[in-house]
Structure 1
Protein backbone atom coordinates (compact mmCIF):
# COMPACT_ATOMS: atom_id res chain seq x y z
CA UNK A 1 0.00 0.00 0.00
CA UNK A 2 1.49 3.36 -1.05
CA UNK A 3 0.89 6.37 1.19
CA UNK A 4 1.04 10.10 0.44
CA UNK A 5 4.75 10.19 1.19
CA UNK A 6 5.38 7.47 -1.44
CA UNK A 7 6.45 5.00 1.28
CA UNK A 8 5.32 1.44 0.70
CA UNK A 9 3.71 -0.06 3.79
CA UNK A 10 3.65 -3.84 4.10
CA UNK A 11 0.26 -4.89 5.42
CA UNK A 12 0.34 -8.66 4.87
CA UNK A 13 3.29 -10.83 5.87
CA UNK A 14 4.15 -14.42 6.69
CA UNK A 15 3.42 -15.25 10.35
CA UNK A 16 6.55 -15.66 12.44
CA UNK A 17 5.32 -19.11 13.42
CA UNK A 18 5.64 -20.31 9.79
CA UNK A 19 9.02 -21.02 8.25
CA UNK A 20 10.04 -19.67 4.86
CA UNK A 21 9.76 -23.12 3.28
CA UNK A 22 7.50 -23.92 0.29
CA UNK A 23 5.03 -26.65 1.25
CA UNK A 24 4.71 -29.92 -0.64
CA UNK A 25 0.91 -29.86 -0.65
CA UNK A 26 -0.99 -30.32 -3.92
CA UNK A 27 -2.68 -27.32 -5.59
CA UNK A 28 -6.07 -26.73 -4.00
CA UNK A 29 -5.27 -28.66 -0.81
CA UNK A 30 -6.40 -26.85 2.34
CA UNK A 31 -3.55 -27.95 4.62
CA UNK A 32 -1.58 -24.79 3.88
CA UNK A 33 -4.54 -22.58 4.82
CA UNK A 34 -4.98 -24.34 8.14
CA UNK A 35 -1.23 -24.10 8.81
CA UNK A 36 -1.43 -20.34 8.35
CA UNK A 37 -4.42 -19.96 10.67
CA UNK A 38 -2.62 -21.90 13.39
CA UNK A 39 0.52 -19.82 12.92
CA UNK A 40 -1.45 -16.56 13.06
CA UNK A 41 -3.08 -17.61 16.32
CA UNK A 42 0.26 -18.60 17.85
CA UNK A 43 1.71 -15.21 16.88
CA UNK A 44 -1.28 -13.25 18.16
CA UNK A 45 -1.28 -15.05 21.50
CA UNK A 46 2.52 -14.78 21.87
CA UNK A 47 2.89 -18.53 22.45
CA UNK A 48 5.55 -19.33 19.85
CA UNK A 49 8.24 -20.03 22.44
CA UNK A 50 6.02 -22.39 24.43
CA UNK A 51 4.11 -24.25 21.70
CA UNK A 52 4.74 -27.91 20.89
CA UNK A 53 3.00 -29.47 17.90
CA UNK A 54 2.71 -33.19 17.20
CA UNK A 55 3.19 -34.07 13.53
CA UNK A 56 1.32 -37.14 12.25
CA UNK A 57 1.81 -39.67 9.51
CA UNK A 58 -0.05 -38.60 6.39
CA UNK A 59 0.00 -35.66 3.99
CA UNK A 60 1.03 -33.34 6.83
CA UNK A 61 3.88 -35.58 8.00
CA UNK A 62 6.32 -32.78 7.09
CA UNK A 63 4.53 -30.18 9.21
CA UNK A 64 7.66 -29.87 11.34
CA UNK A 65 9.34 -28.23 8.32
CA UNK A 66 6.63 -25.58 8.06
CA UNK A 67 5.88 -24.55 11.65
CA UNK A 68 8.47 -22.35 13.32
CA UNK A 69 8.17 -23.77 16.82
CA UNK A 70 8.93 -27.08 18.51
CA UNK A 71 7.46 -30.13 16.77
CA UNK A 72 7.52 -33.82 17.65
CA UNK A 73 6.96 -36.65 15.17
CA UNK A 74 4.58 -39.47 16.11
CA UNK A 75 3.92 -42.94 14.74
CA UNK A 76 0.79 -43.35 12.62
CA UNK A 77 -2.26 -42.57 14.75
CA UNK A 78 -0.32 -42.12 17.99
CA UNK A 79 -0.21 -38.33 18.11
CA UNK A 80 -2.70 -38.08 21.04
CA UNK A 81 -0.60 -40.53 23.07
CA UNK A 82 2.57 -38.56 22.35
CA UNK A 83 0.79 -35.28 23.11
CA UNK A 84 -0.42 -36.72 26.41
CA UNK A 85 3.13 -37.42 27.51
CA UNK A 86 4.43 -34.06 26.30
CA UNK A 87 1.65 -32.09 28.01
CA UNK A 88 2.02 -33.94 31.31
CA UNK A 89 5.74 -33.20 31.34
CA UNK A 90 5.23 -29.59 30.19
CA UNK A 91 1.80 -28.60 31.56
CA UNK A 92 2.47 -24.90 30.96
CA UNK A 93 3.00 -25.35 27.22
CA UNK A 94 0.46 -25.27 24.41
CA UNK A 95 0.42 -28.80 22.97
CA UNK A 96 -1.63 -29.71 19.90
CA UNK A 97 -1.93 -32.62 17.49
CA UNK A 98 -2.47 -32.11 13.77
CA UNK A 99 -4.05 -35.20 12.18
CA UNK A 100 -5.77 -36.35 9.00
CA UNK A 101 -8.86 -38.57 8.87
CA UNK A 102 -6.88 -41.74 8.11
CA UNK A 103 -4.48 -41.04 10.97
CA UNK A 104 -7.06 -40.08 13.59
CA UNK A 105 -10.19 -42.02 12.62
CA UNK A 106 -8.66 -45.36 11.59
CA UNK A 107 -5.40 -46.54 13.14
CA UNK A 108 -5.52 -43.76 15.76
CA UNK A 109 -9.17 -44.00 16.73
CA UNK A 110 -8.49 -45.59 20.12
CA UNK A 111 -5.86 -42.97 20.96
CA UNK A 112 -8.12 -39.97 20.29
CA UNK A 113 -11.10 -41.56 22.07
CA UNK A 114 -9.13 -42.31 25.23
CA UNK A 115 -7.36 -38.94 25.23
CA UNK A 116 -10.84 -37.43 25.30
CA UNK A 117 -12.03 -39.91 27.95
CA UNK A 118 -9.12 -38.89 30.17
CA UNK A 119 -9.86 -35.22 29.51
CA UNK A 120 -6.27 -34.62 28.46
CA UNK A 121 -5.54 -30.91 28.34
CA UNK A 122 -4.46 -30.94 24.70
CA UNK A 123 -5.94 -29.59 21.47
CA UNK A 124 -6.48 -31.58 18.29
CA UNK A 125 -6.78 -30.20 14.76
CA UNK A 126 -8.46 -32.87 12.63
CA UNK A 127 -8.29 -32.47 8.83
CA UNK A 128 -11.09 -34.43 7.11
CA UNK A 129 -10.83 -34.82 3.33
CA UNK A 130 -12.74 -38.12 3.22
CA UNK A 131 -9.85 -40.11 1.76
CA UNK A 132 -6.33 -41.38 2.43
CA UNK A 133 -4.20 -38.73 0.73
CA UNK A 134 -0.50 -39.50 1.10
CA UNK A 135 -0.77 -43.23 0.47
CA UNK A 136 -2.58 -42.93 -2.84
CA UNK A 137 -6.28 -42.33 -2.38
CA UNK A 138 -7.69 -45.35 -0.55
CA UNK A 139 -11.03 -45.37 1.28
CA UNK A 140 -10.91 -43.79 4.74
CA UNK A 141 -13.37 -44.12 7.65
CA UNK A 142 -14.81 -40.77 6.53
CA UNK A 143 -15.21 -41.70 2.83
CA UNK A 144 -18.79 -41.02 1.70
CA UNK A 145 -21.25 -43.60 0.42
CA UNK A 146 -20.78 -44.05 -3.37
CA UNK A 147 -17.49 -42.09 -3.26
CA UNK A 148 -14.95 -43.57 -5.66
CA UNK A 149 -11.49 -44.27 -4.26
CA UNK A 150 -8.65 -46.60 -5.25
CA UNK A 151 -10.04 -49.30 -2.97
CA UNK A 152 -13.71 -48.57 -3.77
CA UNK A 153 -13.58 -48.23 -7.58
CA UNK A 154 -17.37 -48.66 -7.82
CA UNK A 155 -18.04 -46.36 -4.89
CA UNK A 156 -18.21 -47.05 -1.16
CA UNK A 157 -20.97 -49.53 -0.32
CA UNK A 158 -22.55 -49.42 3.14
CA UNK A 159 -23.26 -53.16 3.13
CA UNK A 160 -19.62 -54.06 2.71
CA UNK A 161 -17.72 -51.25 4.43
CA UNK A 162 -20.21 -49.45 6.64
CA UNK A 163 -21.15 -45.80 6.62
CA UNK A 164 -18.86 -42.75 7.12
CA UNK A 165 -17.66 -42.24 10.67
CA UNK A 166 -18.70 -38.94 12.22
CA UNK A 167 -15.76 -38.75 14.59
CA UNK A 168 -16.55 -35.32 16.00
CA UNK A 169 -20.09 -36.37 16.95
CA UNK A 170 -18.64 -39.43 18.67
CA UNK A 171 -16.03 -37.42 20.59
CA UNK A 172 -18.71 -34.90 21.62
CA UNK A 173 -20.47 -37.63 23.64
CA UNK A 174 -17.41 -38.11 25.86
CA UNK A 175 -17.44 -36.26 29.19
CA UNK A 176 -13.75 -35.35 29.05
CA UNK A 177 -14.19 -33.47 25.77
CA UNK A 178 -15.24 -29.93 26.62
CA UNK A 179 -15.21 -28.38 23.13
CA UNK A 180 -15.77 -29.94 19.71
CA UNK A 181 -16.34 -27.95 16.50
CA UNK A 182 -16.41 -28.58 12.76
CA UNK A 183 -15.33 -25.85 10.33
CA UNK A 184 -14.15 -25.30 6.75
CA UNK A 185 -11.65 -22.95 5.09
CA UNK A 186 -12.81 -22.72 1.47
CA UNK A 187 -13.64 -19.00 1.62
CA UNK A 188 -12.86 -15.96 3.78
CA UNK A 189 -16.03 -16.16 5.87
CA UNK A 190 -15.41 -19.77 6.81
CA UNK A 191 -11.70 -19.12 7.37
CA UNK A 192 -12.60 -16.44 9.92
CA UNK A 193 -14.91 -18.85 11.75
CA UNK A 194 -12.30 -21.62 11.60
CA UNK A 195 -9.69 -19.33 13.13
CA UNK A 196 -12.06 -18.40 15.95
CA UNK A 197 -12.74 -22.06 16.74
CA UNK A 198 -9.08 -23.08 16.70
CA UNK A 199 -8.22 -20.12 18.93
CA UNK A 200 -11.02 -21.19 21.27
CA UNK A 201 -9.59 -24.70 21.46
CA UNK A 202 -6.15 -23.31 22.32
CA UNK A 203 -7.62 -20.93 24.92
CA UNK A 204 -9.47 -23.82 26.55
CA UNK A 205 -6.25 -25.76 26.86
CA UNK A 206 -4.30 -22.86 28.36
CA UNK A 207 -7.08 -22.41 30.92
CA UNK A 208 -6.77 -26.10 31.83
CA UNK A 209 -10.40 -26.90 31.08
CA UNK A 210 -9.97 -30.20 29.24
CA UNK A 211 -9.79 -31.78 25.80
CA UNK A 212 -10.77 -29.78 22.70
CA UNK A 213 -10.95 -30.80 19.03
CA UNK A 214 -11.61 -28.83 15.86
CA UNK A 215 -12.41 -30.76 12.69
CA UNK A 216 -11.64 -28.96 9.41
CA UNK A 217 -13.34 -30.19 6.24
CA UNK A 218 -10.85 -30.09 3.38
CA UNK A 219 -10.60 -30.88 -0.31
CA UNK A 220 -8.22 -33.38 -1.90
CA UNK A 221 -8.31 -32.46 -5.61
CA UNK A 222 -5.55 -34.89 -6.59
CA UNK A 223 -7.07 -38.04 -5.12
CA UNK A 224 -10.62 -36.93 -5.87
CA UNK A 225 -9.58 -36.47 -9.52
CA UNK A 226 -10.94 -32.93 -9.71
CA UNK A 227 -9.76 -29.38 -10.28
CA UNK A 228 -9.40 -27.29 -7.11
CA UNK A 229 -12.57 -25.31 -7.89
CA UNK A 230 -14.59 -28.42 -8.70
CA UNK A 231 -13.31 -30.02 -5.49
CA UNK A 232 -14.67 -27.12 -3.42
CA UNK A 233 -18.07 -27.51 -5.07
CA UNK A 234 -18.00 -31.27 -4.42
CA UNK A 235 -17.09 -30.71 -0.77
CA UNK A 236 -19.97 -28.28 -0.27
CA UNK A 237 -22.50 -30.48 -2.09
CA UNK A 238 -21.47 -33.81 -0.57
CA UNK A 239 -19.42 -33.41 2.60
CA UNK A 240 -21.37 -30.59 4.25
CA UNK A 241 -24.63 -32.61 4.46
CA UNK A 242 -22.74 -35.63 5.87
CA UNK A 243 -20.55 -33.57 8.21
CA UNK A 244 -22.54 -30.45 9.22
CA UNK A 245 -20.51 -27.40 10.24
CA UNK A 246 -20.84 -25.81 13.65
CA UNK A 247 -20.00 -26.20 17.35
CA UNK A 248 -20.99 -29.70 18.36
CA UNK A 249 -20.15 -29.33 22.03
CA UNK A 250 -19.22 -26.51 24.37
CA UNK A 251 -19.39 -27.44 28.05
CA UNK A 252 -20.53 -25.11 30.80
CA UNK A 253 -16.94 -24.38 31.84
CA UNK A 254 -16.14 -23.26 28.29
CA UNK A 255 -19.18 -20.97 28.06
CA UNK A 256 -18.37 -19.14 31.32
Structure 2
Protein backbone atom coordinates (compact mmCIF):
# COMPACT_ATOMS: atom_id res chain seq x y z
CA UNK A 1 0.00 0.00 0.00
CA UNK A 2 1.31 3.41 -0.95
CA UNK A 3 -0.25 6.54 0.53
CA UNK A 4 0.42 9.40 -1.87
CA UNK A 5 -0.06 12.81 -0.25
CA UNK A 6 2.73 14.37 -2.36
CA UNK A 7 5.05 15.02 0.59
CA UNK A 8 6.92 13.39 3.42
CA UNK A 9 4.33 14.46 5.97
CA UNK A 10 5.55 12.51 9.00
CA UNK A 11 8.93 14.27 8.96
CA UNK A 12 7.87 17.86 8.36
CA UNK A 13 6.52 18.07 4.84
CA UNK A 14 9.62 17.72 2.68
CA UNK A 15 9.47 17.18 -1.07
CA UNK A 16 8.69 13.58 -1.97
CA UNK A 17 9.20 11.68 -5.23
CA UNK A 18 5.50 12.36 -5.90
CA UNK A 19 5.47 16.11 -5.10
CA UNK A 20 3.78 17.98 -7.92
CA UNK A 21 5.57 20.37 -10.29
CA UNK A 22 5.55 23.78 -8.62
CA UNK A 23 4.39 22.37 -5.27
CA UNK A 24 5.98 24.10 -2.29
CA UNK A 25 7.36 21.97 0.53
CA UNK A 26 9.79 22.62 3.38
CA UNK A 27 12.65 21.42 1.15
CA UNK A 28 11.37 23.09 -2.06
CA UNK A 29 10.22 26.47 -0.80
CA UNK A 30 9.99 27.95 -4.31
CA UNK A 31 8.06 24.93 -5.57
CA UNK A 32 9.29 21.75 -7.22
CA UNK A 33 11.39 22.75 -10.22
CA UNK A 34 11.34 19.93 -12.75
CA UNK A 35 14.50 21.30 -14.39
CA UNK A 36 16.59 20.82 -11.25
CA UNK A 37 14.56 18.33 -9.19
CA UNK A 38 13.02 16.18 -11.89
CA UNK A 39 9.46 15.18 -12.54
CA UNK A 40 7.26 13.36 -10.03
CA UNK A 41 7.22 9.58 -10.16
CA UNK A 42 3.93 8.02 -11.18
CA UNK A 43 4.21 4.98 -8.94
CA UNK A 44 1.27 2.92 -10.22
CA UNK A 45 2.31 3.36 -13.83
CA UNK A 46 5.88 2.37 -12.95
CA UNK A 47 4.91 -0.70 -10.89
CA UNK A 48 2.47 -1.91 -13.54
CA UNK A 49 5.42 -2.57 -15.84
CA UNK A 50 7.14 -4.93 -13.39
CA UNK A 51 7.21 -8.65 -14.07
CA UNK A 52 5.23 -10.48 -11.42
CA UNK A 53 2.88 -7.57 -10.71
CA UNK A 54 -0.71 -8.80 -10.72
CA UNK A 55 -2.83 -6.09 -9.13
CA UNK A 56 -1.79 -2.44 -9.44
CA UNK A 57 -4.45 0.24 -8.94
CA UNK A 58 -4.77 3.87 -7.89
CA UNK A 59 -7.67 5.03 -5.75
CA UNK A 60 -8.44 8.15 -3.71
CA UNK A 61 -9.59 8.85 -0.17
CA UNK A 62 -11.26 12.22 -0.79
CA UNK A 63 -14.97 11.34 -0.63
CA UNK A 64 -17.23 8.47 0.50
CA UNK A 65 -17.64 6.92 -2.96
CA UNK A 66 -13.88 6.80 -3.51
CA UNK A 67 -13.23 5.52 0.01
CA UNK A 68 -15.58 2.59 -0.70
CA UNK A 69 -13.69 1.90 -3.93
CA UNK A 70 -10.40 2.05 -2.01
CA UNK A 71 -11.67 -0.49 0.53
CA UNK A 72 -12.57 -2.89 -2.29
CA UNK A 73 -9.14 -2.39 -3.84
CA UNK A 74 -7.44 -3.20 -0.54
CA UNK A 75 -9.52 -6.37 -0.17
CA UNK A 76 -8.67 -7.34 -3.76
CA UNK A 77 -4.97 -6.81 -3.09
CA UNK A 78 -5.15 -9.22 -0.17
CA UNK A 79 -7.15 -11.69 -2.27
CA UNK A 80 -4.48 -11.49 -4.98
CA UNK A 81 -1.82 -12.39 -2.42
CA UNK A 82 -3.88 -15.21 -0.86
CA UNK A 83 -4.33 -16.77 -4.30
CA UNK A 84 -0.61 -16.52 -5.02
CA UNK A 85 -1.14 -14.55 -8.22
CA UNK A 86 1.76 -12.16 -7.74
CA UNK A 87 2.68 -8.76 -6.35
CA UNK A 88 -0.07 -6.27 -5.46
CA UNK A 89 0.14 -2.53 -4.89
CA UNK A 90 -2.68 -0.11 -4.10
CA UNK A 91 -1.79 3.58 -4.39
CA UNK A 92 -4.09 5.81 -2.35
CA UNK A 93 -4.26 9.54 -3.05
CA UNK A 94 -4.75 11.41 0.21
CA UNK A 95 -4.80 14.94 1.53
CA UNK A 96 -2.30 16.54 3.91
CA UNK A 97 -3.89 19.82 5.04
CA UNK A 98 -1.21 20.62 7.61
CA UNK A 99 1.80 20.41 5.32
CA UNK A 100 -0.09 21.77 2.31
CA UNK A 101 -1.05 24.83 4.38
CA UNK A 102 -4.74 24.47 3.51
CA UNK A 103 -8.01 23.81 5.24
CA UNK A 104 -9.30 20.23 4.95
CA UNK A 105 -12.02 21.42 2.55
CA UNK A 106 -9.51 23.23 0.34
CA UNK A 107 -7.20 20.20 0.48
CA UNK A 108 -9.95 17.96 -0.87
CA UNK A 109 -10.57 20.43 -3.69
CA UNK A 110 -6.82 20.58 -4.48
CA UNK A 111 -6.67 16.78 -4.63
CA UNK A 112 -9.60 16.75 -7.06
CA UNK A 113 -8.34 19.65 -9.20
CA UNK A 114 -4.58 18.99 -9.21
CA UNK A 115 -3.70 15.49 -8.05
CA UNK A 116 -6.29 13.40 -9.87
CA UNK A 117 -5.52 14.92 -13.29
CA UNK A 118 -1.79 14.29 -12.72
CA UNK A 119 -2.30 10.91 -11.03
CA UNK A 120 -5.39 9.46 -12.76
CA UNK A 121 -7.44 6.99 -10.76
CA UNK A 122 -7.84 3.56 -12.24
CA UNK A 123 -6.66 0.01 -12.73
CA UNK A 124 -3.13 -0.18 -14.08
CA UNK A 125 -2.63 -3.94 -14.11
CA UNK A 126 -5.15 -6.65 -13.23
CA UNK A 127 -4.39 -10.37 -13.43
CA UNK A 128 -7.03 -12.12 -15.62
CA UNK A 129 -7.88 -14.55 -12.80
CA UNK A 130 -9.17 -11.63 -10.71
CA UNK A 131 -12.07 -10.94 -13.10
CA UNK A 132 -14.10 -13.75 -11.52
CA UNK A 133 -13.82 -12.36 -7.98
CA UNK A 134 -16.76 -10.31 -6.71
CA UNK A 135 -16.21 -8.32 -3.54
TM over 0.5: yes
Aligned residues: 132
Counterpart selection for 1:216 from 63, 70, 92: 92
Q: CA-to-partner distance for each residue in 1:134-183, whole Å, 9 max, x for gaps?
A: 11111000000000111111111110000010011110001210010000
What's the secondary structure of 1:134's corresponding residue? helix
CA distance in 2, matches of 1:181, 1:133: 22
What's the secondary structure of 1:189's corresponding residue? helix
Report 1:23-102 matches (<5 A): none
What's the secondary structure of 1:181's corresponding residue? strand
**What residue is the counterpart of 1:200 in the other structure?**
76
Q: Does 1:141 align with 2:25?
A: no
TM-score normalised per structure 2: 0.94
What's the secondary structure of 1:153's corresponding residue? coil
Quote how far apart the aligned CAs of 1:253 are: 2.9
Q: Which has the larger radius of gyration?
A: 1
Between 1 and 2, higher relative CO (CA 8 Å, sep ≥ 6) is seen in 2
Counterpart selection for 1:180 from 46, 56, 61: 56
Q: Does 1:167 align with 2:61?
A: no
Q: Does 1:247 align with 2:102?
A: no
- Contact 2:85-2:127 within 8 A present in 1 as well: no
Q: 5+ residue gaps in structure 1? A: 1-124
CA distance in 1, matches of 2:111, 2:62: 9
Q: 5+ residue gaps in structure 2? A: none
TM-score normalised per structure 1: 0.50
What's the secondary structure of 1:147's corresponding residue? coil
Q: CA-to-partner distance for each residue in 1:197-248, whole Å, 9 max, x for gaps?
A: 1111111111111111100000010000011111110111110011000111
